[in-house]
A and B are shown apart, each in its own frame.
Chain A
Amino acid sequence: MKRKLPLLLTFFIGILMIISEFIPHKPFGSISGEVENWFLIISGFAIILGQLSLFKVNWFKIRYKEQNWQYYIITLVSFIVMVALGIFWGTEKNPGLLGNGNQISAFIGSKPFDYLFDNIYQHLQATMFSLLAFFIASAAYRAFIARTFESTLLLVAAILVMLGNTSIGFLLTGWIPDSLNFLHLPKITEFIMKYPTTAGQRAIMIGAALGIIGSSIRIILGIERSYLGGD
């Protein structure tokens, strides 16, 4: 029973969404419209659940003194500070419990929540992802070897696209006369992207879509149940 009712709920909601695509009029259109509004609110709770769950996991790591547990104190403190600042003085123009924080904003230039976002969080996130520039260069050196015909195709396409997407590519073949314009590197890149790459990506898109359609049907019909968890 603990699983059957949720499976029935999935079935009815899934079928309702499909029917309302074909019959967008009352009652299907208005019911599915309401369901979509509810979905937004439930998604909000799901995000809150995610953050509280992160808190819980880190709390247990500290409590049971797992390896490097001291660092997780920093995670929790940062989380609490950000949440507290947001709750007390709000964000941008949203007031918090202690008002709009005009005094503190006049003192530091912006609300404390926004100050942390602008001056710490933005930089941390941007830098974290920029590390990948170094690793992709290193990976290109170590792994990009033309061992077979397929890998040669991959390598040649990568080099042409990289050259064509730079000003150097533009300069290298800039002297080519207009009648042979198609040999101009940016044009070659455009050609590769517009035709063979789009063809390959479209094949992947169709394949992935068929997979998603298949799993949607399995979920709606109750064949796929793993999302409900154990017991």
Chain B
Amino acid sequence: MVHFFNILGIWLGAYFTLAIFSFLYKDNPFYKVAEQIFVGLSAGYWFIYTIYSILIPNLFNPLKADFGANWIKLVPAVLGVMMLLRLLPKGNWISRYPIAFSIGTTSGLAFMKFVKSDVIKQLTATMINPFAAGNWIDVIGQILLVVGTITGVIYFYFSKKHEGAFGTTAKIGIYFLMVSFGAAFGYTAMARISLLIGRLQFLLGDWLGIIPH
């Protein structure tokens, strides 16, 4: 019976893959049904995994095992229930407390982390001596890195009108941004094609058996 369900599983996978692909021809009921099943299963998965991975091990089990030592966990539990009250028409204001708690935690932490990792460390990594590089290719590259970062940041400064020397610097910044957007497009194209390759490896391999698995 297991073998039958394995085969059925592959056919189900193939059916739903083709149902989604049918959208490329035009929108149709097969696609719409598949799309809604996707949404429903996705929500169900998140729901179940949140219960089994977070609420049971980090909340219910500690409370059940040793309430005396873990009673403090009732605070996030109450805040969590207050969050759920958002579903009631008049419960909106109650949910502000857990939201305020979460936003406060994230803002405080994000403030510190972004200052260190995305500003200070990035600036430090840019303050290099380009001429210390081993060969002339890297020297050119490092000069580009320093110039590109500084001019790019200047481009994002909108409080001053982009004209004169400032405007020219910002313009150079745009050129670097354009190269980086082009590279990003190249990588995005690569990523999307990879996903299609994955699908066709399933259809041609697991389902049709044309290519070895």
Contact = CB atoms under 8 A, between A and B. Distances in A.
Co-assembled chains A and B? yes
Interface of A: 2-3, 5-7, 9-18, 21, 34-56, 68, 71-72, 74-83, 86-87, 90-91, 94, 106-109, 113, 115-134, 136-137, 140, 144, 150-151, 153-162, 165, 182, 191-210, 212-213, 215-217, 219-220, 227-229, 231
Contacts of A151: 178
B92 to A, nearest CB: 6
Given A9-B100, A42-B98, A157-B183, A78 B178 contact: no
A124 to B, nearest CB: 4
Contacts of A90: 52
Given A82-B47, A216-B111, 18 more contacts: A17-B105, A17-B107, A17-B108, A21-B112, A37-B76, A41-B55, A45-B84, A46-B98, A49-B84, A79-B41, A90-B52, A125-B38, A130-B198, A153-B175, A199-B145, A202-B152, A205-B118, A208-B118
Is chain B's interface secondary structure helix, strand, loop, or mixed overall? helix
A203 B148 contact: yes
Is chain A's interface secondary structure helix, strand, loop, or mixed overall? helix
Given A6-B99, A12-B104, A38-B101, A52 B84 contact: yes
Contact of B20 (A115, A124, A182): A124
Most buried by A among B32, B47, B122: B47
A36 B93 CA distance: 23
Given A54-B43, A79-B44, A74 B1 contact: no
Given A18-B111, A220-B111, A132 B195 contact: yes
A74 to B, nearest CB: 4
A123 B107 contact: no
Interface of B: 1-2, 5-6, 8-10, 12-14, 16-17, 20-21, 23-24, 32-52, 54-55, 58-59, 72-73, 75-77, 79-81, 83-84, 86-87, 92-93, 96-105, 107-112, 114-115, 117-119, 122-123, 125-126, 137, 140-142, 144-149, 151-153, 155-156, 173-190, 192-193, 195-196, 198-199, 202
Contacts of B156: 203-204, 207
A204 B58 contact: no
Contacts of A115: 5, 9
A110 B139 CA distance: 57
A17 B113 CA distance: 11
Contact of B153 (A47, A192, A203): A203
Contacts of A196: 144-145, 148, 176, 179-180, 183
Contacts of A108: 1-2, 5
A131 B24 contact: yes
17 contacts: A14-B104, A17-B109, A38-B73, A46-B80, A82-B40, A91-B49, A113-B48, A117-B41, A154-B182, A158-B185, A161-B182, A195-B141, A195-B142, A196-B144, A196-B183, A197-B180, A204-B152
A209 to B, nearest CB: 3
